[in-house]
């Protein structure tokens, strides 16, 4: 009998979020599941790790004992580190993160705790996928995601991923029958135009709320933003090597040791 794959599930919205509940449901149809997820929302934490506080991980009760679940007091990246080093009895065959409440397309990948958890698994050499639905509401409906989540996960389990690459998957918030298919994309060139809403406490102290709007600066048809706007699931292969390899040759023409140039 073939051994089922061991699947590590995590997220950044917290272990009680509806998105991770849907992800667990799908993963239980594929393999053996262990959940290690934050005990509170960690959205926007990026790849932060806990260095100046105590980390806790506590096993929680799961109805019908279908799988194991642990809450972690740390960040999404902490969850993966603890899972790999302390909790799992063997190396997971894959790590899936999400399903995130809201987009992680284009520049959002930089800030995303969902994707940082997947990238942390990738650093460990574990195939990993971050899944996101384009709906920020807590009570978002994830039914339309499930078929695509299962298909993409099974393909990665079957074919593997290149060392250092994880998949950033975003899914439009529309009925499954309205989704046209899956597109492999590049990350769109986009950013947030940000402002701070400055207010005062009753005691007269200034405080700030970050606000802003998302601006897509890229109108090409090979981007994740184009795919999502046109009702496709987008997959962007993402790497944690941030080196701008195409610039190395140009920089090597600069003579940093020529003191007369300064």
- Sorted by where each starts, the structural domains of the chain and their CATH numbers stand as 6-243 (3.40.1210.10)
Q: What confidence score (pLDDT) does residue 67 get?
A: 94
- Out of 62-66, 135-139, 148-152, least confident range: 62-66
pLDDT band at 216 (very low <50, low <70, confident <90, very high): confident
pLDDT in tens, 220-235: 999 999 999 999 999 9
| Buried/exposed 216-254: b ≥16 CB within 10 Å, e otherwise | bebeeeebbbbbbeeebbbbbebeeeeeeeeeeeeeeee
Mean pLDDT value across residues 134-143: 94
Average pLDDT score over residue span 170-192: 94
* pLDDT for residue 44: 83
In this predicted structure, the answer to whether residue 261 has a pLDDT above a threshold of 80 is: no
Q: What average pLDDT does this structure show over 42-54? A: 89
CA distances from 83 to 30, 70, 72 (A): 19, 9, 10
Angstrom distance (rounded) from CA 106 to CA 111:
11
Beta strands in 62-162 (DSSP E): 68-72, 94-101, 128-133
Residue with tokens 């509940």: 21
Q: Of 88, 113, 123, whose CA–CA distance to 17 is shortest? A: 113
Q: Which residues of 87-106 are buried (b: 16+ CB within 10 A; e: fewer)?
A: bbeeebbbbbbbbbbbbbbb
pTM above 0.85, yes or no: yes
Is residue 192's pLDDT more than 90?
no
Residues 88-127: tens digit of each pLDDT: 988 999 999 999 999 999 999 999 999 999 999 999 999 9
Beta strands in the chain (DSSP E): 6-10, 32-38, 57-60, 68-72, 94-101, 128-133, 165-171, 181-184, 190-200, 206-216, 232-239
């Amino acid at each position: 009998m073939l051994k089922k794959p061991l699947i590590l599930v995590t997220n950044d919205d917290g272990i009680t979020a509806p998105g991770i509940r849907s992800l667990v449901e799908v993963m239980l149809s594929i393999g053996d599941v262990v959940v290690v997820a934050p005990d509170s929302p960690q959205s926007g934490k990026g790849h932060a790790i806990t260095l100046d506080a105590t980390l806790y991980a506590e096993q929680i009760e799961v109805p019908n004992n279908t799988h194991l679940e642990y809450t972690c007091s740390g960040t999404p990246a902490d969850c993966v580190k603890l899972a790999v080093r302390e909790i799992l009895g063997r190396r997971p065959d894959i790590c899936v993160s999400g399903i995130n409440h809201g987009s992680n397309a284009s520049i959002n990948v930089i800030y995303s705790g969902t994707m940082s958890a997947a990238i942390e698994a990738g650093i460990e050499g574990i195939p990993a996928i971050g899944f996101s639905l384009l709906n920020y509401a807590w009570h978002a409906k994830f039914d339309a995601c499930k078929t695509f989540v299962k298909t993409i996960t099974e393909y990665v389990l079957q074919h593997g991923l290149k060392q250092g690459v994880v998949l950033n998957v975003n899914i439009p918030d529309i009925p499954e029958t309205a989704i046209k298919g899956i597109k492999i994309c590049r990350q769109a060139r986009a950013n947030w135009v940000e402002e701070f809403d400055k207010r005062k406490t009753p005691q007269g102290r200034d405080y700030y709320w970050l606000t802003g709007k998302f601006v897509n600066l890229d109108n090409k048809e090979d981007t994740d933003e184009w795919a999502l706007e046109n009702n496709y699931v987008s997959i962007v292969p993402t790497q944690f090597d941030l080196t701008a390899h195409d610039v190395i040759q140009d920089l090597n023409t600069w003579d940093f040791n020529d003191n007369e140039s300064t």
